[in-house]
Structure 1
Amino acid sequence: MAESQYTEDNIRSLDWKEHIRLRPGMYIGKLGDGSSADDGIYILLKETIDNCIDEFVMGAGKTIEISIQGERVIVRDYGRGIPLGKVVDVVSKMNTGGKYDSRAFKKSVGLNGVGTKAVNALSSYFRVESTRDGKSKSAEFEIGELKDEELLEETTRRRGTKVTFIPDETIFKKYKYRNEYVERMLKNYVYLNPGLSILFNGEKFHSENGLKDLLEDNNNMDDFLYPVIHLKGEDIEVAITHSKTQYSEEYHSFVNGQHTTHGGTHQAAFREALVKTVRDFYGKNYEASDIRKSVISAISIKVMEPVFESQTKTKLGSTDMGGNFPTVRTYINDFVGKYLDNYLHKNTETADRLQRKIMMAEKERKELSGIRKLARDRAKKANLHNKKLRDCRVHLGDMKHDRRLDSTLFITEGDSASGSITKSRDVNTQAVFSLRGKPLNSYGMSKKIVYENEEFNLLQAALNIEESMEDLRYNNIVIATDADVDGMHIRLLLITFFLQFFPELIKENHLYILQTPLFRVRNKKETIYCYSEEERRNAIGKLSGKPEITRFKGLGEISPDEFKHFIGGDIRLEPVMLDKAMSIEELLNFYMGKNTPDRQEFIINNLKVEIDLIENN
């Protein structure tokens, strides 16, 4: 076999934008189409806003204006403005930025000088405009390439920076910004920066009470066991309550304004501090899991020069606060130990409710311990012959893998649908869990049922969420059922199961419904898959002659070759979202409780009769 040549010609030096475009995942995590909150188009927006936030933190500019119309994004701040001589460099030269001078940006997150450059390189159109000292400088780029720059010597515009970009469609395929995800991101910004106002498409976001507002706005307060405990220090803020309804622990953690969705050293220290303080206060050595069961909390800290475990900064690795401060762990332990203890001494009703909750958790844990062991033994045996789960290779916990955020579990009904998905899936990132018949209606049942019911127990084991959400194996859990009455019923029963026992899967946007086409319209030259009556009409109008129309009644009817499109690059997912106007208890009772006159009236008022028009064509 001839030896391959290895000369200077083999060494390729990529310029900054080529490197970002070749390896976008290194800079913005996954690409996606906007159906998931961690898709790349939201990271582009976040990187742009982070610079505006740093200006607010420095005391420059109390308002940020954001407009998203279709694919065009505009972000405007009223900060100091980029120094005019550096406008082009700051958005197109690696390791250029004002944040290397730590006096100006003591506790900033955007220290790597990559953020805005990644936005520029991954946008088909990018424009930056800076105004300061009565002058304005703008520069326009296409895929990171400078196309035009202009300097205005005199202008009456207010100082600040305005960035406009359009994510590149060749990289982010068929993407769409979802307002719900954008709004959640903006709310986090205002919770962490009380006094800041963000205007998004004309709607104002503002917070006066920081993390207290975060917990209250994201939940129905009727679900809280006691009013939110809100504690603030110079470089730390904490908000704590317990839920009446959910079983697992829920944490929202932040470092220097960065949402650390995968926790890190600060979140671990906070969990430890909570347990230690509660044990000391009651003088009882309660189990850590009983203290933390059903906790809903948030922690934000500020650290000098934080170290994150990945470029997307979702997990803190730092052990030190920086400067003359102690370790992150000691700092959080000391703060929680002092201020939470003081609060519980002063608020005896809250302290009593918390203790009762801990004792109930202890009682339930002891009741479950026997059945848990039986269920685990059963699950182990089932796993050896588990035909329900066809696993994939990459999981959410594989922190070093660049496709971990693509990890998906499809929950399907029946063998035919499972077969189609299994044959056409991507075995690296897509797993399939097959249901046998209809799951149980778990409304009003205790956690015991999760262990007693084999299907629920195996589903919990597949997801690996028995102990905590931190061990979740798949980023996306997708319910893939037929679009008929039975399929809708199974969908409802599964959502009930998750709401009853794992509501934070829904709160954290891990649960989706797979949209599959209702019709196939084709002629000899082209095939169009249609997801609605309107799309079907448009397809008939587009294809000449008399196209053949097929109505899909179930997933099993779609061949594996066709199914590839619907779970591949063209996948359409509908996120399952919670409306906080109704508590989870009320929601489940209304839809899944005893058949009440209220529900009958609701069904009658919302009944839609859909006439299948295919026969008329």
Structure 2
Amino acid sequence: MAEQTSYTEDNIRSLDWKEHIRMRPGMYIGKLGDGSSPDDGIYILIKEVLDNSIDEYVMGAGKTIEVSVKDETVSIRDYGRGIPLGKVVDVVSKMNTGGKYDSKAFKKSVGLNGVGTKAVNALSSYFKVQSFRDNQTVTAEFEQGNITNEEKPQESSQRKGTKVTFVPDKTIFTKFKFRNEYIIKMIKNYVYLNTGLTIIFNGEKYYSENGLRDLLDENIDDESKLFKIIHLKGDDIEVALTFSKAQYSEEYHSFVNGQHTTQGGTHQNAFREAIVKTIREYFGKNYDSSDIRKSIVSAISVKVMEPIFESQTKTKLGSTEMGDGLPTVRTYITDFVKTNLDNYLHKNPDVAEKIQKKILQAERERNDLSGIRKLARERAKKASVHNKKLRDCRVHFNDLKKENRLESTLFITEGDSASGSITKSRDVNTQAVFSLRGKPLNSYGMNKKIVYENEEFNLLQAALNIEDSLEDLRYNNIVIATDADVDGMHIRLLLITFFLQFFPELIKEGHLYILDTPLFRVRDKKQTFYCYSPEEKQDAINKLKGKPEITRFKGLGEISPDEFVHFIGKDIRLDPVMLDKEMPIEKMLEFYMGKNTPDRQKFIIRNLKIELDIVEEA
């Protein structure tokens, strides 16, 4: 029998605050990532510092926040009250220290436990905090949470407030890059939720006069709106909604105390129920809830006393109480929507008529689809038991209690050899593979019926679990993994068309990516370099000198599973699929998938030339 390991006091180890954060960063900032996803840790670091500045604004201190991101250095300066000068070091380096335990000072803030800036400090190779207050300033500098410099109070003529500068630690965030698009989206959400606040990002001003109405205007173009946005405001609640002529699914942007709850929660569920209840009562008809909510584009923001979230990254509200002597979250939202939306519909009967027409049309479409939907569901149910197309993983995005759920990924591949390589080299805990057979159908201009009639689309919809909404989406990252040749590009386009046509919110919420795979392998007997561009190839040749062996990968199937593991592991490179705000979805689809116009021909020729140049470089 094997000797048992002794278990004594020596086995019990107490980690100090920074060691624990550095050892378990996922508990504090979700997944690490490389900056290609909006929920990657480097953006959570920015958000944690910004949250403190926003809370100052909410308390009536400081109307401007300046944010600068240059290369890997982030700097955030607010003009709030400034951290009390004797507590500057404690606030950013001692757990359970902060001004938010006093609920009177920060009545409805987000960061109640004061962990945020401590996590940023611990996960930064350089962290500097400077407080300006009472015509004095105090500065402290840290590395990986360890203090390296603390200055005594000095005289200062600068306006009161706090400035934080940090550089994410490259030993934790390897090969990261900030994408301004994600930072700008975060900043826009902050100004929509705090009308009157100005955030200056790298010299550009962001400001909102109309709150959530501006947010919806950003997310739906005028041509797609069924009617102008309904905008309702109360003491601790703000709501905006319209319906889209261009999309099938429901779209919600929900917030609690300024925090973007991407996973929804009790407030979003209550809002969905309240809309159905109000519209049923207004028309005196028991319409199906899915017909009422179909194609809704909406936003809700509530303020709750000491909110309870389901994780440190605060993406789902768990609170059932509003606090402050108010009724439950559900009752408060239901009463507000019932009174205000009902009043709006009575005052605007033309809007009510448009909503009723939309409901009746949705009802007709649902009835038309009911037979085929039933068959498709049965087919998908059978397939899910032994679905040849899906090789599933163990952890899913809707497993809210799983720490690594943000890493859940579905690779959509084409052909047996490519899917075989990915399947053999994937992480079975978090990476699933869906294998296409040849080119998918071009769904441009088709209605939802095709999603059920086409076996591949139906099984893909079932695998993702997105038939009715994104609420139970099973994978955080949906990655199109095709060859970088003309056929592979065409398959990408057909899949993006499918998502744009039927599930655009997947793209809007930043879930869809293209897998970037190396074009070349450059190696000698000692070293191997995988190169993603001709420039990287040339750098590798220069490093190896002599006459290295150069291989051009023409397809994913050529890359062995032993090599593929390097491209879908910690060094994975993903290109996010993003929507162009200037071009509505219908116009975008028409340009890429409609009739072959001269403009499109020029676009194709120009982009094909780039691909041919790469091939000729090999």
The reply to whether TM is greater than 0.5 is: yes
Is 1:124 paired with 2:122?
Answer: no
AA aligned to 2:42 is I
Q: Give the 3-state SS of the residue equivalent to 1:470 in structure 2.
A: coil
**Cα distance in structure 2, aligned partners of 1:329 and 1:361:** 27
**Cα distance in structure 1, aligned partners of 2:349 and 2:461:** 37
* 1:161–1:330 Cα change, 3 Å: same
Is 1:175 paired with 2:173?
Answer: no
Per-residue deviation at 1:44? 0.7
* 1:550–1:105 Cα change, 3 Å: same
Is 1:11 paired with 2:12?
Answer: yes
**Cα distance in structure 2, aligned partners of 1:139 and 1:274:** 50
Q: Is contact 1:379-1:457 (8 Å) kept?
A: yes
Deviation digits for residues 471-502 of structure 1 (CA, Å, limit 9, x no counterpart): 11000000000000000000000000000000
Deviation digits for residues 72-98 of structure 1 (CA, Å, limit 9, x no counterpart): 111110111000000000000001001
What residue in structure 2 maps to residue 309 of structure 1? 310
What residue in structure 2 maps to residue 594 of structure 1? 595
**Cα distance in structure 1, aligned partners of 2:589 and 2:77:** 42
What residue in structure 2 maps to residue 102 of structure 1? 103
Alignment of 1:230-379 (within 5 A): 230-379=231-380
**Cα distance in structure 2, aligned partners of 1:171 and 1:379:** 41
* 1:607–1:309 Cα change, 3 Å: closer
Per-residue deviation at 1:611? 5.2
* 1:79–1:415 Cα change, 3 Å: same
Q: Give the 3-state SS of the residue equivalent to 2:151 in structure 1.
A: strand
Q: Give the 3-state SS of the residue equivalent to 2:467 in structure 1.
A: coil
What residue in structure 1 maps to residue 580 of structure 2? 579
What residue in structure 2 maps to residue 565 of structure 1? 566
> 344-353 or 262-271: which moved more?
344-353
Per-residue deviation at 1:606? 5.8
> 290-299 or 591-600: which moved more?
591-600
What residue in structure 2 maps to residue 87 of structure 1? 88
> 250-259 or 519-528: which moved more?
519-528
**Cα distance in structure 1, aligned partners of 2:33 and 2:559:** 24
Per-residue deviation at 1:32? 1.1
Q: Is contact 1:230-1:240 (8 Å) kept?
A: yes
What residue in structure 1 maps to residue 447 of structure 2? 446
Per-residue deviation at 1:427? 0.5
Which structure 1 segments of 5+ residues have no match?
Answer: none
Per-residue deviation at 1:614? 7.8
Q: Give the 3-state SS of the residue equivalent to 2:319 in structure 1.
A: coil
* 1:609–1:4 Cα change, 3 Å: closer
* 1:165–1:568 Cα change, 3 Å: same
Is 1:529 paired with 2:530?
Answer: yes
Per-residue deviation at 1:597? 3.7
Q: Is contact 2:521-2:529 (8 Å) kept?
A: yes
Per-residue deviation at 1:203? 1.1
Per-residue deviation at 1:347? 1.3
What residue in structure 2 maps to residue 468 of structure 1? 469
**Cα distance in structure 2, aligned partners of 1:616 and 1:76:** 47
**Cα distance in structure 2, aligned partners of 1:10 and 1:335:** 55
**Cα distance in structure 2, aligned partners of 1:254 and 1:521:** 49
Q: Is contact 1:396-1:473 (8 Å) kept?
A: yes
Q: Give the 3-state SS of the residue equivalent to 1:566 in structure 2.
A: coil
AA aligned to 2:294 is K
AA aligned to 2:117 is T
Is 1:401 paired with 2:391?
Answer: no
Q: Give the 3-state SS of the residue equivalent to 1:213 in structure 2.
A: helix
AA aligned to 1:366 is N
AA aligned to 1:236 is I
Q: Is contact 1:28-1:43 (8 Å) kept?
A: yes
Deviation digits for residues 359-394 of structure 1 (CA, Å, limit 9, x no counterpart): 100000000000011112222333343211000000
Identity between Structure 1 and Structure 2 (%): 77
Q: Is contact 2:534-2:617 (8 Å) kept?
A: no
* 1:614–1:58 Cα change, 3 Å: closer
Which structure 2 segments of 5+ residues have no match?
Answer: none
AA aligned to 2:88 is V
* 1:167–1:548 Cα change, 3 Å: same
Per-residue deviation at 1:319? 0.8
Q: Give the 3-state SS of the residue equivalent to 2:330 in structure 1.
A: helix
Q: Give the 3-state SS of the residue equivalent to 1:417 in structure 2.
A: helix
* 1:42–1:412 Cα change, 3 Å: same
AA aligned to 1:312 is T
Per-residue deviation at 1:152? 3.8
Q: Give the 3-state SS of the residue equivalent to 1:608 in structure 2.
A: helix
Per-residue deviation at 1:220? 1.8
Alignment of 1:211-222 (within 5 A): 211-222=212-223
Per-residue deviation at 1:598? 3.9
**Cα distance in structure 1, aligned partners of 2:74 and 2:176:** 13
AA aligned to 1:547 is P
What residue in structure 1 maps to residue 71 of structure 2? 70
Q: Give the 3-state SS of the residue equivalent to 1:471 in structure 2.
A: coil
Q: Is contact 1:223-1:584 (8 Å) kept?
A: no
AA aligned to 1:255 is V
**Cα distance in structure 2, aligned partners of 1:560 and 1:590:** 37
* 1:57–1:446 Cα change, 3 Å: same
Deviation digits for residues 291-315 of structure 1 (CA, Å, limit 9, x no counterpart): 0001000000001111111111111
**Cα distance in structure 2, aligned partners of 1:372 and 1:188:** 37
AA aligned to 1:208 is E
* 1:99–1:385 Cα change, 3 Å: closer
Q: Give the 3-state SS of the residue equivalent to 1:473 in structure 2.
A: coil
**Cα distance in structure 2, aligned partners of 1:227 and 1:89:** 49
**Cα distance in structure 1, aligned partners of 2:35 and 2:616:** 36
| CA RMSD, Structure 1 to Structure 2 (Å) | 1.4
Deviation digits for residues 125-154 of structure 1 (CA, Å, limit 9, x no counterpart): 110000101100000011111111112431
Q: Is contact 1:129-1:161 (8 Å) kept?
A: yes
Per-residue deviation at 1:585? 1.1
Provide TM-score, normalisation by structure 2: 0.98
Q: Is contact 1:196-1:206 (8 Å) kept?
A: yes
AA aligned to 2:413 is T
Provide TM-score, normalisation by structure 1: 0.98
* 1:445–1:4 Cα change, 3 Å: same
**Cα distance in structure 2, aligned partners of 1:311 and 1:610:** 44
Matched residue count: 617
AA aligned to 1:391 is D
